[in-house]
Homo-oligomer: A and B are copies of this chain.
């Protein structure tokens, strides 16, 4: 931040806003170039502590910011000019809202008198994202006035607080500016007396050592149940013999890994861990993490007893098999959600607990440890009944069988599931792994074996779009030094091809696994496959694109592999090297689907 006096009110205004964002912990910003946003862009660019990621396509910029926030838990503000630029943020804003990712959108706007006046590049930006934002504010016109500047500083703190609240999500500040937009000297525009007359508004707050502190420090409480409510839950847990802990999608493990492991240890209940839950990977071996359920639950449904209690965390699981399994049981089902969201579309849950998941899990675990009849805090399976032990072992045995089938099947022929199986096994520890909708996340769900490796697996499952997969991955990759693995399909690769520009412009290295089945392979899983036409032309939509030129266009190494072995060696080489490599695996969607079904049949046979 420049120490020189602001040459005009717009510079002052934008610097003040940026100063507060920095004070509140913002470390980076995504900026798409434009004229109206000049004061913001200049203020961010001249700030020494804030890293600027410059993007040319606002849609990709917003998904990049989304990815960074998924990985860091903190918003990376977005800046754009007036007009449809702001509308290009909309898909990512919706994804952020639905998947509860902090985001701060700063849209520059024309001054109020030019709205709906026919002025150029002027649209109605007010409440542009409707109900998809946690908070919206139309900032007042910049003015070097004490109360206004204090309101601006407060607004910055509030915007960040709202975006990281419960649940986190997008916040939209619409920021009008009147010319001059550049930091040109406008004599008298910012009175020299401002610092004396309105010291708080002009300078904000500093610590005693001179460093900046936020104008308003915010502390956000998180919902906790009363002890009597907890006791009721504990009783239900204790009286259950066949409990299941279901960890649905959540960008950061929720509950935290240790807390969920304690819960599992205290109850003896296995954990059904969605690939996006943060629990499929990263748990120590003794924690009963299950990952194959999508492949075998359908086969065992009849022959096994039903669960009698389910505790669900996170969003609705990716696995339709699991959702149906839960729907079919008449177990008591607790949904634990800090935001009190009713994210359970089978409508069979019996209890909604609006409570912080980590604290909830810890309180259950510690309460059971101290109150359990066995009474030993060091007894990891707490007050576990023999039936619970056999229930857990039943799952453990099914997993063993299942993974044996999968690992043998993937050697037989190249199919999409085998690629995800290999990615899960071979991804470096630690790594960030971004998986696309629609098939990669499903294949990782079914074929990604749990590992202790610290993999942060991310996906856009809020709205399950394929519109910003590459950018989300690269944004997540930009946030840490962990190697980045991006697994995408050919349609998602095409949809967000512009996002590849971030490889060079934002300096992100990645291993991009592009599974190319020339169109929408997922449609082979749907009944429309039987109706051709229009199946091929309107659903599978083969495009015939040869993506090799995208290597030249974006400065990537592009390699094609035709079998699993070459894939694995290309993958290994890539994750160990600098730069970005695209490894294209050409698959046949139909054959992959058939083989996926065949593996399912083998599993069923084996389990019978």
Contact = CB atoms under 8 A, between A and B. Distances in A.
B497 A539 contact: no
Contacts of A341: 118
Interface string A65-95: 0000000000000000001110110110111
A121 interface: yes
Nearest to A490: B56
A42 interface: yes
Interface string A32-72: 01010010011001100000101011110000000000000
Contacts of A200: none
Contacts of A42: 528, 531, 534, 538
A315 B90 CA distance: 27
A343 interface: yes
Given A467-B84, A534-B46, A35 B553 contact: no
A492 to B, nearest CB: 10
Contact residues on A (Cβ < 8 Å of other chain), bracket: 35 or more
Contacts of A344: 117-118
A479 to B, nearest CB: 21
B98 A41 contact: no
B117 A347 contact: yes
Contacts of A315: 118
A131 B124 contact: yes
A173 interface: no
A84 B495 CA distance: 12
Interface in A321-347: 341-345, 347
B121 A464 contact: yes
A31 interface: yes
A184 interface: yes
B41 A539 contact: yes
A132 B117 CA distance: 15
Quickly give the copy total for this chain. Answer: 2
A501 interface: yes
A410 B549 CA distance: 35
A447 to B, nearest CB: 19
A247 interface: no
A85 B183 contact: no
Contacts of A546: 552-553
A491 interface: yes
Nearest to A494: B56
A117 B343 contact: yes
B530 A182 contact: yes
Interface in A546-578: 546-550, 552-553
A526 B117 contact: no
Contact of A54 (B56, B57, B343, B541): B541
Contacts of A170: none
Contacts of A343: 117-118
Contacts of A307: none
Contacts of A549: 549-550, 552-553
Contacts of A118: 315-316, 341-345
Interface in A389-414: none
A151 to B, nearest CB: 26
A465 B91 contact: no
Given A91-B88, A343-B118, A495-B498, A54 B123 contact: no
Contacts of A539: 33, 38, 41
Nearest to A541: B33
Given A41-B539, A119-B316, A123-B94, A495 B182 contact: no
Given A57-B495, A84-B95, A183-B531, 11 more contacts: A33-B539, A38-B526, A57-B467, A59-B88, A87-B90, A87-B93, A121-B464, A128-B130, A181-B528, A501-B545, A549-B549
By Cβ-Cβ distance, the 4 closest A-B pairs, closest first, are A118-B343, A119-B345, A45-B534, A549-B549
21 contacts: A41-B538, A46-B534, A52-B538, A54-B541, A57-B467, A57-B494, A83-B464, A98-B123, A114-B345, A117-B343, A118-B315, A118-B345, A120-B316, A120-B345, A123-B132, A130-B130, A183-B531, A184-B530, A494-B498, A505-B543, A546-B553
Interface of A: 31, 33, 35, 38, 41-42, 45-46, 52, 54, 56-59, 83-85, 87-88, 90-91, 93-95, 98, 113-114, 116-124, 127-128, 130-132, 180-184, 315-316, 341-345, 347, 461, 463-465, 467, 491, 494-495, 497-498, 501, 505, 520, 522-523, 526-528, 530-531, 533-534, 537-541, 543, 545-550, 552-553
